[in-house]
Chain A
Amino acid sequence: MNPYRLSSGERREATSVIGAIRRLAPVMADQRRSIIIAFAATLVASGASTTAPWLIARTVDIHIRAGNYPGVLTSAALLLAVYVTGLIATYVQTLQMGLVGRRVLFNLRNAIFTKLQELPLDFFNQNKAGDLISRINNDTDKLNVFFAQALVQLAANLFLMGGAALLLLMLNPRLGAAALAPAVVVFLITRATGSVVKARNAASLQSLGALSGEIQESMSNFRVIVAFNRVDYFQTQFKAANDRNYAASVRAGVLNTFFIPLYGLAMNCAQVAVLGYGFYLITRGQFTVGLLIGFLLYVNSFYMPLRQLAAVWSSFQLAMASFDRISDVLALESNLQQLPPHEGVDNAVLAFEHVRFGYAKDRPVLRDASFVLEHGKTYALVGPTGGGKTTTASLMARLYDPDSGRVLLDGKDIRTFDAGERARRIGFILQEPFLFTGSIRDNIVYGHEGLRALNDEQLAAMLRAKNLDTLLARFDQGMATRVTAGGEGISLGQRQIIAFIRVVLREPEILILDEATANIDTVTEQQLEQILNELPPTTTRVIIAHRLNTIENADEIFFINGGELTRAGSMQDALDLLLHQHRAS
């Protein structure tokens, strides 16, 4: 299996609270201050909320019964102070935890996106765009919800429960044990079912990712769907994904919501146990009614937070399932590593040494390709479709690494160059050029600090100097013309022109044109050729084209087919090869 294919819902271990905290710790590392403040605020808030009833009860007992109205007013003032404290503490707690959630969300999204940018092209061939979007948006949001709403509640409740449990055991160890026994039972049940809960939540998330993948694909290909009367295809594909998502979500939901009633039941069991056992102890003279009433209150203060924990529990498992999906992406490492520099061996600008490469290991596209490209010359790659021309060009630009053999740039292994250096030296116009949503200007200066810093006049002057300005004339608003990534309202030929300007403006040492002008009319194409001829004399050009006029001026022609790369001595040779080819693709 390809190392970049993201797993789809294999079963994972349930996450224990401690294990989770250990895994989440790095994500929260810079949030420690907020978390501590929030935790302190939570304690103050719960302190305030327990003080208030006690204060009221005291006021009734001491002042109201005695008819002491000034005393009532003093107590009221005190109560107001308690309420204001509670107000502030609750605000601080909600705000701080919300901040933590938001910041974690922000950081995680950035981290995944950065990782996506580090990964090689192969990764994107393996995974659906919709699923990746789902991981970046939906999964991170599940974690946000957990952090914002559940985390502090989890911590504070555990704290309160610990206190209550201690009190119960201290007041009367045996009655305390009876009170806590149901909690132990539900704890064991929760633990035992943890992995199922998490697996079901993971399956539910997975089905949501698949659903967005389906939507993404159908919406992007809508015109074909319409033109081929297959709106029903879109609907049935969608319905299948939608139904799967429904089934998976219901399965997860039914289990997730089991715990709240269960914990409620545990609380009631504890109450009845305390009552029954308490009465027995009282009849034996070992306990009093007053103590029993107090004891029951403490049982409540143990079980109420426990019940809330049940609600938090599924949110926690959901968050952890999301975190797994996020971690899957974060754990991937690019296999395009940079090697330490070494001395160059010759002066060729680019060379292949026994290169073997295939997208799948058992189907090589190139078997044993070796050739040398020199400065300032023009090379053509010809061959039937599917023969390996684009693959060869992609290897030149290190979009992939060979399975064996080496690609040399300036006599040094191309893997020793950093990505920036490579981008400066090699310009590559792709078969189907991609444009970002924005203006043409945005697209031609894209990714180049120097060009971006230019103002409109400077850029226009630069375009004029390279005769590129006439190409822009065909866009109604010139550089300001807006384009979209979907390419609506702009033809493939126009996209090719923009890509051409983008690359030529950067003056690369090696310029690779992969059918870069295939959809451009021949008159304009002559213009492009003229521009190419005026590039600095050291520029090496690599041209892939079906239209033979584009390659007739090549210094050397390589014929690529069936894994073999053959040097064709002349145009005539190349034609013979094309004519007598046996398509091995």
Chain B
Amino acid sequence: MTEHTSTKEVGGRRQFITFRSGEQEFGADIMAIREIRGWTETTPLPHAPDYVRGVINLRGVVLPVVDLKARLGLGRTETNPKDVIVVVQSETRTIGLLVDAVSDILTITGGDIQPTPELAREADTAFVEGIAVLSERMVTILSLHRLIASLVGTQEAQAA
């Protein structure tokens, strides 16, 4: 299933929740977001890649938490109590994304999302669906589907 099918499209318009991680602003399709909650201490998982911060108890579900900044190769997020975990879902899988803060809800028409520039590094684009440019700001639209699939699909060989 592509993300488009799960998108709430009103006349080609999509809604995104945007959040800050490091210096950048990211957006994720609002339909993929289950909830937003405060940072809680995680239980670390052995032999996990550095961007997997561990697991938390989300009302009885054991939820892995991914440090978005670290996942995108931008360095580890130094956690503080103001950090936020955005719980996102793709197909049947649910994970938490550790971000600095949630900022906004954006409504963007499909045409306003540009493909990522060709010259970007692979690591920068692997989890990016496109770029939304709004007057002064630039929001990187995440491909949650690819982000989550990368977590589940691979064997731990890469981690070990």
Partners in one complex: no
